[in-house]
Amino acid sequence: MAETGAGPEPGGEGPAYSPNAIHLLRTAQRNTLVLAQMADQKASILMGACFLVFSIAVSRTLIGHLPWSLAILALFAFLSALCGAIAVMPSVGKPATTEQRNWLFFGHYHDRNEQEWADDLLGELKDDEEVFRLMLRDIYQNGQVLHRRKYRFLGYAYRLFIAGLVITLAAFAVELSQVY
């Protein structure tokens, strides 16, 4: 199977790309997808732990005894779960401009009919550079979502949970010192 994009177009015009360029872009795209999946898994694990803590706090409240330490942990678990939910919440919006349109992302073409979308996409696939640009835009925009949203809010969620654990330990020590 011959690699495309390894040299200039038949007329001698256009940039010459390494035969490995497409492999590099595919690897970068796959890695970005894996990072998004990892962020979603981490958020889900943390949210599960937070919901467990929160349900214990609710059950203790219903029986009439909620220690301050557990209330503090429940509050931080709730805030952590909110940040985790924001991290995994889908955000599908229209691009601000046509230049930002990502033909590979369903959120940017869901409102178009299939034929119109296919024609526009095929118009972008006329040469290797345009194909690479489409892939690069997809990688870049997915990376922006990872950086600005997923990993940012995931970091907040974990920091809140850890802070809650530390403050809960201090509150528990105070409660214990009052008992003994």
Could you tell me if residue 148 is inside a domain? yes
Could you tell me if residue 116 is inside a domain? yes
What are the tens digits of pLDDT across the range 35-93? 999 999 999 999 999 999 999 999 999 998 899 999 999 999 999 999 999 999 987 76
CA distances to 9, 108, 136 from 86, rounded to whole Å, are 46, 21, 26
Could you tell me if residue 13 is inside a domain? no
What are the tens digits of pLDDT across the range 149-180? 999 999 999 999 999 999 999 999 999 999 88
**pLDDT category, 1, cuts 50, 70, 90?**
very low
Residue 136 structural domain: 22-179
What are the tens digits of pLDDT across the range 87-110? 999 877 666 666 777 888 888 788
Could you tell me if residue 6 is inside a domain? no
Task: Please work out, in degrees rounded to the nearest 5, the angle formed at the alpha carbon of residue 44 by the alpha carbons of 42 and 46.
Answer: 70
Could you tell me if residue 118 is inside a domain? yes
pLDDT at residue 125 in the model: 86
Could you tell me if residue 87 is inside a domain? yes
Are the C-beta atoms of residues 31 and 142 closer than 8 Å to each other?
A: no
Direct distance between the N- and C-terminal alpha carbons of the chain, in angstroms, rounded to an integer: 78
Predicted model pTM:
0.79
Could you tell me if residue 16 is inside a domain? no
What are the tens digits of pLDDT across the range 109-154? 888 899 988 998 898 888 888 889 999 999 999 999 999 999 999 9
pLDDT at residue 13 in the model: 65
Could you tell me if residue 15 is inside a domain? no
Torsion from C-alpha of 31, 36, 40, 45, nearest 10 degrees: 40
Structural domains of the chain, count: 1
